Amino acid sequence: MTESKRVAGTIMVTNQQGETFFLVKDNDGVSSFIYERIEETEKLPMGIIMETLLEFVTVDSESIRLMDLTNIKGQDKTSPLFVFDLVERPEDEMTLLNQSGLVTWRRTKDLTELLSECDSNIVPMYKS
């Protein structure tokens, strides 16, 4: 049996007040990066996670740019983590969400617990 590979991603948004937030999956108040399984497909990992992330927000693919690519280690598996940056600066980041029950925005400083679950030697740190 082959091990399933996963790709993770998030979108970083800075609102008009200068506050920075990251798109994360919300499981009853517990945050996690958004993951997608990599299947045998014509798409590359970046395309797979970008398509998944865009399902959760009301932004066009041309409005985001790749800011960072790194690896994170969780559950004894290493996965690529794509960090996209939203070009626009919305007044209220919550208005960008399509499926607010499944995902939410978290401030950088609020991601401490999530990042501690990953191998901190390979996770990028962002200032809020």
Q: What is the pLDDT of residue 2?
A: 47
pLDDT tens digits, one per residue of 28-72: 878 889 999 988 778 899 999 999 999 999 999 999 999 999 888
- Please give the Cα distance from 124 to 98 (Å, whole number): 27
Q: Return the CATH number of 5-116, one of 3.40.50.2300, 3.50.50.60, 2.40.240.10, 3.90.79.10.
A: 3.90.79.10
Better-predicted residue by pLDDT, 85 or 115: 85
Assess whether pLDDT exceeds 80 at residue 124.
Answer: no
Assess whether pLDDT exceeds 60 at residue 122.
Answer: no
Cα-based torsion angle of the residue sequence 57, 115, 109, 36 in order, rounded to the nearest 10 degrees:
0
Say which residues have a Cβ less than 8 Å from residue 33's Cβ, sequence separation at least 6: 8, 9, 10, 24, 25, 72, 81, 114
Q: What is the pLDDT of residue 113?
A: 67
Q: What is the pLDDT of residue 67?
A: 94
The pLDDT mean for the chain works out to 85
Looking at residue 2, the DSSP 8-state letter turns out to be P
Which of 61-70, 72-81, 82-91, 98-107 shows the lowest per-residue confidence on average (mean pLDDT)? 72-81
Q: What is the pLDDT of residue 1?
A: 38
Percent of the chain beyond pLDDT 90? 58
| pLDDT mean over 12-32 | 91
Assess whether pLDDT exceeds 80 at residue 117.
Answer: no
